[in-house]
Amino acid sequence: MATAENIHDDHAELRVEMRDVEAQLSGLREDGSPEAIARFHARLTDYRSHLRNHFQDEERSESFASFRNGDPMARVRVDKLCLQHREFLGELDRILVDLGSGAITPEGLESIALEVDHLFTNLRWHDSVETGLLKRLAER
Ligand SMILES: [Fe+2]
Ligand SMILES: [Fe+2]
Give me ligand 1 centre to Cα 130, in Å: 7
The rounded Å distance from CA 86 to ligand 1 centre is: 10
Measured in Å, residue 27 CA sits from the centre of ligand 2 at 27
Domain ranges of the chain: 4-139
Give CA 115 to chain center in angstroms: 12
Rounded CA separation 56/46 (Å): 16
CA of 44 to the centre of ligand 2 (A): 17
d(CA 54, CA 10): 7
pLDDT of the chain along its 140 residues, tens only? 889 999 999 999 999 999 999 999 999 989 989 999 999 999 999 999 999 999 999 999 999 999 888 788 888 999 999 999 999 999 999 999 999 987 788 899 999 999 999 999 999 999 999 999 899 888 87
pTM over 0.75: yes
Q: How far is it, in rounded angstroms, from Cα 50 to Cα 112?
A: 20
